Amino acid sequence: MYVMKCAQGENFSKGELQRFGNIELSPSAGVLNYGQGLFEGMKAYRKQDGNILLFRPEENALRMRLGAERMCMPSPSVEQFVEAVKATVLANKRWVPPPGKGSLYIRPLLMGSGAVLGLAPAPEYTFLIYVSPVGNYFKEGVAPINLIVEHELHRATPGGTGGVKTIGNYAAVLKAQSAAKAKGYSDVLYLDCVHKRFLEEVSSCNIFVVKDNIISTPEIKGTILPGITRKSIIDVARSEGFQVEERQVAVDELLDADEVFCTGTAVVVSPVGSITYHGKRVSYGEGGFGTVSEKLYSVLTRLQMGLTQDKMDWTVELRQKTY
């Protein structure tokens, strides 16, 4: 794993690779007491020629920098972040699955590791990266998932931290997610906390609704995480000739949608087979992908895995001769 530290008010300078293992923290570390922490998620894919591809790592770096500003933390520069990711992946290259057999999930962490008892930014920060080979996020694989709309508990509030990838955002979804899974659902779809009628996102991914070949997704307004896969799917969809709208999407629009799908680093694109709202279950062709989501999934994953030419200039290739 990769580790780099700095003090509050200073810049990150030089990090180092260390053997993966437990880390030592003070009981009064800022991350443990006040949740001063961020994380990112990204993947590395192995190509047929053995080279390894990263997907838009600079976007993760930029998102971490924005999140760090909101959480009063210093953060690595974009160049430091990307170089640290490259170094970590190369040090763990044997764990990158063969082509088509999965990917190497990359987890960068930024946390207040310094001791602080009063409510204040921590005096020291740690940037850390570790990795793990992974397969599909949902147990259904790329088969359609089944969601339930949550109308009492909320993931984020206006003015809060829902728009940055802070660690606390994910603890907030566990109660509703656990209850949903106990009832047989794959995950939870959250509504806005003000009107309780506009879609926000699923526990760990963004959502898209398709009607008459128009793709709609909730707009980014501070309560929704600006997903990098979300951003990429929007660009891919527009390049393929689809009309994409980023706007408020009412929950009622789910009732007559042609397709619904989710996007995220872990899921990439996941078709939604059904959504249950106030006991009413709406199905969307539970046999597999819809026409639109299948097209977008194919285009994006083939690009991520190096099976097509990267006209978007989104991938970073780690060639065999460099390791």
Active site residues: 165
**Could you give the CA distance from residue 74 to residue 57 in angstroms, rounded to a whole number?**
19
**Could you give the CA distance from residue 85 to residue 103 in angstroms, rounded to a whole number?**
15
The string of DSSP codes covering 33-61 is: HH--EEE--EEEEE-TTS-EEEE-HHHHH
**What are phi and psi for residue 79, nearest 5 degrees?**
-65, -45
**Could you give the CA distance from residue 246 to residue 221 in angstroms, rounded to a whole number?**
10
**Could you give the CA distance from residue 296 to residue 303 in angstroms, rounded to a whole number?**
11
**Could you give the CA distance from residue 121 to residue 29 in angstroms, rounded to a whole number?**
10
For residues 271 and 293, is the Cβ–Cβ distance under 8 A?
yes
Residues, the chain: 323
For residues 221 and 156, is the Cβ–Cβ distance under 8 A?
no
**Could you give the CA distance from residue 265 to residue 41 in angstroms, rounded to a whole number?**
6
For residues 105 and 132, is the Cβ–Cβ distance under 8 A?
yes
The string of DSSP codes covering 180-234 is: HHHTT-SEEEEE-TTTS-BEEEETTBEEEEEETTEEEEE--SSSS---HHHHHHH
291-304 and 228-239 helices cross at what angle (nearest 10)?
Answer: 110
57-70 and 228-239 helices cross at what angle (nearest 10)?
Answer: 130
Q: Name the 3-class secondary structure at 82.
A: helix
Q: Which tokens hold the place of 168?
A: 């606390």
